[in-house]
A and B are shown apart, each in its own frame.
Chain A
Amino acid sequence: MSAPRMSAKEALVAVHAARGERDVVVTTMSPARDWMTLRQHPLDVVLVPSAMGHATSIGLGIALAQPERRVIVCNGDGSMLMNLGSLVSIAAAGAANLVVLVFDNGVYEVTGAQPIPSPGAIDFVAIARGSGFASVFEHSEIDRWREDVQRILSAPGPTMALLHVEPVTGIPGPRSPGPAADRGRRFTAAIQQQG
């Protein structure tokens, strides 16, 4: 657990700045909470309500439906652990347009920062490589992340970037930004409108 960690919010702000107009961004858990404090985009999918583990799979579905667009999934480390097989499914499907960002804070932040199993000892980089991801990165310093984020998002995919971030305590989890079904319909319409 001695590795340096950056601010999760700052890391997310860098993603927000680097995201293209045609990119889909899927967020869940504390990344969803922080994302909702930033300017929203019609191609944002804020996965609230949801349950753990779904973001990478939804991201895979959107990436397969829209192969000409980049899909960026901002996932929690606990949620990643709940659906590690999805990394294999993503690679097996050849989803070259999918980028998975794992916000590794070592805890279940949203429920009060209880430790995940084996915090600091899980080699997500090796798991992603071993699952068949084409590009895998690891970052813990905000300046380097800001410098590299655009290049990483554009790397040959599927891509995984492991972001070592500080856990935050005392902030409530993400609140639903409105009825999910309506948001889903608006998202599909926005995709179709953009063509």
Chain B
Amino acid sequence: MFSGEQIAELLEDLGVSHVVTVPDSTIGPWQGAIEQRGRTRVVRVCREGEAWQVAAGLHLGGKTPLVMIQCTGLFESGDALRVALHDWKLPLFSIIGYRSYLNQDTLPGDTCLVFTEPVLDAWRIDYRLITTPSQLGEIGEHFVACRAAGKPGAVLIGEGKA
């Protein structure tokens, strides 16, 4: 839906210092452009649970991190997310790939569609659903609004591939 260059430029405009990430086939290809642009550092972790805590440490250390993961990784993140967002009340923002949302050819009946939004609601994360290229600006708007409110937020990026 978006090119790596579009995302890299957006992150730079928003002042994101670090993207802490585990890839999928939609968000993964953005890494190259983000690194090439050079203003936002890509931090690769082994599990999404790590990503929230690394982002927590970056935030405590005075930086502006963003967590970029697939919704499968959101499920994996559970307790790390709870501690960072709700115990330590850190206003971390995330970009979450919404697997199979636009197309279920690869994974018919993908249960990501059943659980992703209820899980975000359960974790009390204010999210916006992004399903068309025309919504690029909404990502930044939501980031800025959450930042101003000092609260966590997310954008769910509809994906057509696994």
Q: Can you sample 25 A-B contacts with CB below 8 Å?
A: A45-B60, A50-B83, A51-B83, A54-B56, A58-B54, A59-B57, A60-B43, A60-B57, A61-B60, A61-B61, A64-B18, A64-B57, A65-B57, A65-B63, A85-B45, A85-B47, A86-B45, A89-B50, A93-B43, A93-B44, A181-B88, A184-B88, A184-B90, A188-B62, A191-B61
How many Å from the CB of A79 to the closest CB on chain B? 12
- Please tell me if B139 contacts chain A, counting CB pairs below 8 Å: no
Whether A57 contacts B62 by the Cβ 8 Å rule is no
| Minimum CB distance partner of B78 in chain A | A51
**Cα(A64)–Cα(B52), bound, Å:** 14
Whether A187 contacts B60 by the Cβ 8 Å rule is yes
Segment 122-161 of B: residues with Cβ below 8 Å from A: none
- Please tell me if A174 contacts chain B, counting CB pairs below 8 Å: no
How many Å from the CB of A152 to the closest CB on chain B? 22
Whether A184 contacts B61 by the Cβ 8 Å rule is no
Whether B57 contacts A57 by the Cβ 8 Å rule is yes
> Using Cβ atoms and an 8 Å threshold, which residues of chain B touch A51?
79-80, 82-83
Q: A-contacting residues of B (Cβ < 8 Å)?
A: 17-18, 20, 41, 43-47, 49-50, 52-63, 65, 79-80, 82-83, 87-90
- Please tell me if A142 contacts chain B, counting CB pairs below 8 Å: no
> Using Cβ atoms and an 8 Å threshold, which residues of chain B touch A60?
43, 50, 54, 57
Query: Out of B44, B55, B87, which one reaches A61, CB within 8 Å?
Result: B55
> Using Cβ atoms and an 8 Å threshold, which residues of chain A touch B87?
49-50, 180-181
> Using Cβ atoms and an 8 Å threshold, which residues of chain A touch B49?
53, 57, 83
Task: Given A85-B50, A181-B89, A188-B60, decide whether A57 and B80 contact each other with a Cβ distance below 8 A.
Answer: yes
Query: Out of A50, A57, A66, which one reaches B50, CB within 8 Å?
Result: A57
- Please tell me if A169 contacts chain B, counting CB pairs below 8 Å: no
Whether B60 contacts A62 by the Cβ 8 Å rule is yes
> Using Cβ atoms and an 8 Å threshold, which residues of chain B touch A61?
20, 53-61, 65
How many Å from the CB of B30 to the closest CB on chain A? 18
> Using Cβ atoms and an 8 Å threshold, which residues of chain A touch B58?
61-62, 64-65
| Minimum CB distance partner of A84 in chain B | B46
**0/1 string, A49-88, CB within 8 A of B gives 1:** 1110110011111111110000000000000000101101
| Minimum CB distance partner of A65 in chain B | B61
**Cα(A89)–Cα(B44), bound, Å:** 7
> Using Cβ atoms and an 8 Å threshold, which residues of chain B touch A188?
59-62
| Minimum CB distance partner of B79 in chain A | A51
Whether A54 contacts B80 by the Cβ 8 Å rule is yes
Whether A58 contacts B44 by the Cβ 8 Å rule is no
How many Å from the CB of B18 to the closest CB on chain A? 7
**Cα(A188)–Cα(B18), bound, Å:** 17
**Cα(A88)–Cα(B41), bound, Å:** 17
Chain A to chain B: the 4 pairs with minimum beta-carbon distance, closest first: A61-B57, A65-B61, A85-B46, A57-B53
Whether B56 contacts A192 by the Cβ 8 Å rule is no
**Cα(A85)–Cα(B17), bound, Å:** 23
> Using Cβ atoms and an 8 Å threshold, which residues of chain A touch B55?
61
- Please tell me if A122 contacts chain B, counting CB pairs below 8 Å: no
**Cα(A61)–Cα(B60), bound, Å:** 8
Whether A57 contacts B79 by the Cβ 8 Å rule is no
| Minimum CB distance partner of A63 in chain B | B57
Whether A58 contacts B47 by the Cβ 8 Å rule is no
